[in-house]
Amino acid sequence: MVNFTILAGGYTSFVASYLFNSETNALSLLNTSPTGDNPSWIALHPTNKSILYAVNENSPGSLQTFVIGSQGLLSSPFDTIYSDGDAPAFATPLSGAYLGQVAVMDYNSGTGLIVPTTPDALHFGSGNQLTFPAPVSHPHMALQHGESEVFVPDLGADKVWRLAQDGKPGDWKIQGQIVQPTGSGPRHAAIRGNTLYVLHELASTLTQQNIPPAPNGTTGPLIANFSIIPPDPPVGADFAAGEILLTEPSLNFPAPYIYVSNRNTGVQDPKGDAIVIFQVEPELKLLKYVYTGLDQIRGMQLGGPEDEFLIAGGVNGTAGVVMLRRTDGGRDLELFVRNTELPTRTSFVWLPTD
Would you call 329 helix, strand, or coil by DSSP?
Answer: helix
Residues 224 and 211: their CA atoms lie apart, in Å, by 14
pTM score: 0.97
Give yes or no for residue 1 having a pLDDT over 80: no
Cα separation values, 322 from 30, 42, 215, 283, Å = 15, 18, 41, 30
At 32-64, the pLDDT tens digits run 999 999 999 999 999 999 999 999 999 999 999
> What average pLDDT does this structure show over 289-308?
97
Contact between 65 and 78 (Cβ < 8 Å): yes
Contact between 311 and 301 (Cβ < 8 Å): yes
> What average pLDDT does this structure show over 106-116?
98
What are the strands of the beta sheet with 295-303, ordered from one edge?
295-303, 309-316, 321-327, 332-339
Would you call 70 helix, strand, or coil by DSSP?
Answer: helix
At 126-146, the pLDDT tens digits run 999 999 999 999 999 999 999
At 309-340, the pLDDT tens digits run 999 999 999 999 999 999 999 999 999 999 99
At 80-109, the pLDDT tens digits run 999 999 999 999 999 999 999 999 999 999
What's the confidence (pLDDT) of residue 170?
97
The neighbouring-strand residues paired with 6 are 18, 350
Share of the chain above pLDDT 70, in %: 99
Contact between 163 and 219 (Cβ < 8 Å): no
More confident residue, 260 or 216: 260
Residues 143 and 91: their CA atoms lie apart, in Å, by 10
Give yes or no for residue 239 having a pLDDT over 70: yes
> What average pLDDT does this structure show over 235-245?
97
Give yes or no for residue 211 having a pLDDT over 80: yes
